[in-house]
Structure 1
Amino acid sequence: MSKQKIDRMHKGFSLIELLVVIVIISIVYFLGFSGVEMGKQKPKALTSLNLKSTIMKSDLFTEEATLLCIDKCRSCYLRQGVDSAFQAYEHSIDLKDTKAYTLDARESLLHMEYGRYQDRDICLMLDFYKNGSSTQIILKNESGVYFLPAFFGTPQKVDSLEDAKDLWLKNSDLASNSGDFY
């Protein structure tokens, strides 16, 4: 072979050929991944079962937070700490017509009445703390009855308000006797 042919074979790609390859790869990438946001998951709709975990993973939660819901639990607001203002919870909410219950001093079920916010009845108010605890509460809506423990365990769906009350009392006994394990 002549020296000219050998030089042409080892010349490599031209700048134009490299630019064309980069443009083709860019077009394929943007067509394939245009609707995909990597690394960011959309929060799930707030439900009675995922309420605690969703709020604690929220961008608005830092160390302490309060969730407040109005309009028969169709609109919710979250505030950081005690002194900051409430901000609208922007993600979807599936808590419609939720009623909140607690136990009174005689261990009887008590429907919670929280007052008003923005001249509307508050249907739910929960506090969340940096140690992973929250307000212990029983929620009831058209989907069922739910027990949300303060510290241990995960929220549970139960058959009735009485079953939720039994779980509350059992959970309270576990918390009060936790020193027995040390």
Structure 2
Amino acid sequence: MSCLKRYTIRKGFSLIELLIVILILSIVYFLGFEGVEIGKPKPKALTPLTLKSTITSSELFEGQATLLCINKCRSCYLRKDVTSAFEEYTGPIDLGEIEVYTLDRFDTLTQIEYGRYEDQKICLVMNFYTNGSATQMILKNDEGAYFLPAFFGEPQRFLSVEEAEEHWLRNSRTVSDSGAYY
């Protein structure tokens, strides 16, 4: 009968055994998942093709913003509205040394020269508005020329600035012609 009592008394684990198991599981967990951020997607790099979508999905964006890039577009700053101060954009940036072009009122392609910020030459200024539009422009770097539409469509890559200009003019004529139906 003493043998039966011995087995019935010991039905569970002792407190020390449970603490050792918890300690081992904790060590395995912290060694295995160190540096892994669950549920937090990494931001996309700012490129001419992802510029608008990346900024509008940024945590700094609140419906209206201005992006300003300096240091050959290696450093960028974002401000929420005209009265706010610029905050450093901390996501990855892959714009390269870009040139910015626009069409003037005579539909002539003109390179934009910005001023200086923090005693460095500004390479890009782009405004984002509450209605979902942005500054329409053409960007050029070593990889090609990019047409960034103001509202409709996605940014497109072209081989030359002239091809991007033709696309811009063709699209602006299409939009202005569509008003004839009203």
Band of TM-score, shorter chain: 0.7 to 0.9
The amino acid that maps onto 1:17 is: E
Q: Give the aligned partner of residue 105 of structure 2.
A: 105
Provide the residue aligned with 2:80 in structure 1: 80
1:1-182 to 2 correspondences below 5 Å: 3-8=4-9, 11-176=11-176
Is there any run of 5+ residues in structure 1 with no aligned partner, and where? none
AA partner of residue 167 (structure 2): L
**Matched residue type, 2:8:** D
Contact preservation (8 Å) 1:136, 1:150: yes
Q: Secondary structure at the match of 1:43?
A: coil
| 3-state SS, counterpart of residue 55 of structure 1 | helix
* Closer, same or farther: CA 14–88 of 1 in aligned 2, 3 Å: same
Counterpart secondary structure, 2:27: helix
Deviation at 1:152, TM superposition (A): 1.7
* Distance in 1 separating the partners of 2:68 and 2:86: 8
TM-score, length basis structure 2? 0.88
Give, as a single letter, the amino acid of the residue that structure 2 aligns with 1:57. S
Comparing 170-179 with 143-152, which one deviates more in the overlay? 170-179
One-letter identity of the residue aligned with 2:29: Y
Q: Which segment drifts farther, 172-181 or 36-45? A: 172-181
Query: Across the two proteins, how many residue pairs are aligned to each other?
Result: 181
- CA separation in 1, counterparts of 2:92 and 2:151? 25
Change (3 A) 1:40 1:145: same
Q: Percent identity?
A: 61
Q: Measure the CA separation in 2 of the matches of 1:27 and 1:134.
A: 49
TM-score with structure 1 setting the length: 0.88
Instruction: Give the drift of 1:179.
Output: 5.9
Alpha-carbon distance, 1:84 to partner: 0.4
Cα distance, 1:12 vs structure 2: 1.5
1:77 partner SS? strand
2: CA distance, partners of 1:32 / 1:159: 46
Please give the per-residue CA displacement for 1:5-37, whole angstroms capped at 9, x wherever unaligned.
45235x222212211111111111101100111
> Unaligned 5+ residue runs, structure 2?
none
Amino acid at match of 1:93: I
Q: Distance in 1 between matches of 2:179 and 2:19?
A: 70
